[in-house]
Amino acid sequence: MILVTGATGTIGRYLVRALAETEAPFRALVRDARKGKELGCEFVVGDFDEPASMVSALRGVDRLLLNSGGALPVAGQQPMVRQQAGVIDAARAAGVSWVVKVSAWQPGSDSKLSVRAHWEIERYLKASGLRWASLQPTGYMQNFFTGEGGYTHSGALSGPYGAGRVAYIDAYDVATCAAVLLTGPLGVGETYALTGPEALTHEEIAAKLNIPFRDLTRQVAAEGLRAQGLPGWFVDGLLQLYAEMAAGSMSEVTTAVRDLTGRAPRTFDEFLANR
């Protein structure tokens, strides 16, 4: 039995559909039963912050998709580290044998914000004694519609992006890779750097979205972020991520999606056509 966590999120919704097309038995973890019913598959209600609910959710489970997000840091601490470490402990106690983790692009000890959190969780998972694989995707193409891609209320794509290229990936492809790993023999102890098939500038992306592109200076971007009420250390972290992106830190295109699934990842145009 596979347990899909983060099942109602960007990746999880695609993964539930991909697993439904296989013979593999699976259930989705949801915090809200109404969202579970909408998924149209077997589901169990649980919350990473309620350990007893995770003990129940993991009963009879041997394979786990470890994925969550959304919680904002409190006093510099990213709750995802405590939450996912707790789920790893519960999984080991439940007899889970195989964990596929949704991580982030090249997490390291000097990473910022949620990327740093993923580095810490990966370390914890690798030391747990469980068999694991890690998916390290670049930014999701979906970000441009969920708000994380720097959309402004005026409908322009704006941020301190410069002319740096980013090999954004469709979350559909991340989910397809996760489905392959969860249902097959591949990937034990492997890390997969997942990208789309092309690296685009944000000006090129804005053109595809048919909206204006505004390249902001670091100072203007910082003022805008602070005006949203974000704390200084968080703004600094975001600015560092932007600066790395502008310098091309996510411009590499890998073959990992094709290697795992046997087909090329979706282009930005294919992503838009399939929305």
Ligand X SMILES: NC(=O)c1ccc[n+]([C@@H]2O[C@H](COP(=O)([O-])OP(=O)(O)OC[C@H]3O[C@@H](n4cnc5c(N)ncnc54)[C@H](OP(=O)(O)O)[C@@H]3O)[C@@H](O)[C@H]2O)c1
Burial of 229 (0-12, 13-18, 19+ CB in 10 A): exposed
Q: Rounded to whole angstroms, how far apart are CA atoms 56 and 68?
A: 18
Which of 11/94 has CB closer to ligand X? 11
196-255 binders of ligand X (CB under 6 A): none
| 78 part of the interface to ligand X, by CB under 6 A | no
Select the residue interacting with ligand X from 140, 161, 242, 271 (CB under 6 A): 140
Q: Rounded to whole angstroms, how far apart are CA atoms 167 and 183?
A: 27
Least Å from the CB of residue 149 to ligand X: 8
Q: Rounded to whole angstroms, how far apart are CA atoms 23 and 20?
A: 7
Least Å from the CB of residue 23 to ligand X: 24
| 83 part of the interface to ligand X, by CB under 6 A | yes
| 6 part of the interface to ligand X, by CB under 6 A | yes
Instruction: Tell me the site size for ligand X, rule CB under 6 A.
Output: 28
Which of 114/134 has CB closer to ligand X? 114
Which of 114/158 has CB closer to ligand X? 114
Backbone angles phi, psi at 30, to 5 degrees: -130, 155
Q: Which stretch binds ligand X (CB under 6 A): 29-37, 157-165, 223-231, 265-273?
A: 29-37
Whether the Cβ atoms of residue 94 and residue 58 lie closer than 8 Å to each other: yes
| 111 part of the interface to ligand X, by CB under 6 A | no
| 259 part of the interface to ligand X, by CB under 6 A | no
Return the half-sphere exposure (C-beta side, CA atoms, 13 A cut-off) of residue 22.
Answer: 19
**261: its two tokens:** 């699934």
Which of 46/162 has CB closer to ligand X? 46
| 17 part of the interface to ligand X, by CB under 6 A | no
Strand partners, 157: 151, 213
Q: Which residues contact 127 (CB under 8 A, 6 or more apart)?
A: none
